[in-house]
């Protein structure tokens, strides 16, 4: 990885980590942070926001995507998701589809732990043969 790509990824990781620290996860105690970069370089982040009515909680990726959409942006160039514990905090199925709405097969999904990025996937590996906006008749 080039030095500039490395520092760009570190910036994304830091934003995801800050969002993770601000996550509202009093029920699962599993804090997740997500940060995405748009093609023009803007970064949007969010954490999971749980609710006493459990099904009403939302994932970190959903929060980050909502922040992006609120700004008017509609493309994800890359995204980083961070969670604690030994297991990789890969995006849940629903969030893979939410990312898909604004990304393409080659979009990089970085999965991190507290110490840094642990793995990087192309979206096509996480959500093969996906259904997207292009499938709808115009
Ligand atoms: N969670 C996320 O924020 N993103 C994911 O992709 C997986 C799960 C959250 C939802 C819930 O608040 C907590 O992690 C435990 O499932």
Render pLDDT for 68-126 as a digit per residue (tens, 0 to 9): 999 999 999 999 999 999 999 999 999 999 999 999 999 999 999 999 999 999 999 99
The single residue of 6, 50, 56, 61 carrying the catalytic annotation is: 61
Average pLDDT over residues 30-44: 98
In the prediction, which pLDDT does 96 show? 98
Residues with C-beta less than 6 Å from any ligand 1 atom: 25, 28, 30, 32, 48, 50, 57, 59-61, 91-92, 95
Give the closest residue (by CA) to ligand 1 atom 1: 59
DSSP result, 79-105:
EEEEE-SSS--PPPHHHHHHHHHT--T
Whether 61 is a known active-site residue: answer yes
Asked whether the predicted pLDDT for residue 10 surpasses 90, the reply is yes
Give the closest residue (by CA) to ligand 1 atom 6: 91
**From the CA of 138, how far away is ligand 1's center (Å)?**
34
């Amino acid at each position: 990885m080039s030095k500039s790509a490395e520092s760009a990824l570190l910036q994304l990781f830091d934003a995801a980590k800050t969002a993770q620290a601000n996550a509202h996860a009093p029920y699962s105690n599993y804090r997740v942070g997500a940060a995405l970069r748009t093609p023009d370089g803007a970064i949007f982040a969010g954490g999971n926001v749980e609710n006493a009515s459990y099904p009403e909680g939302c994932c970190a990726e959903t929060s980050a995507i909502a922040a992006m959409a609120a700004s008017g942006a509609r493309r994800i160039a890359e995204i980083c998701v961070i969670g604690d514990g030994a297991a990789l905090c890969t995006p849940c199925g629903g969030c893979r589809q939410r990312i898909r709405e604004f990304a393409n097969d080659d979009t990089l999904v970085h999965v991190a732990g507290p110490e840094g990025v642990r793995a990087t996937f192309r979206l096509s590996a996480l959500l093969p043969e996906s259904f997207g906006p292009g499938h709808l008749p115009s």
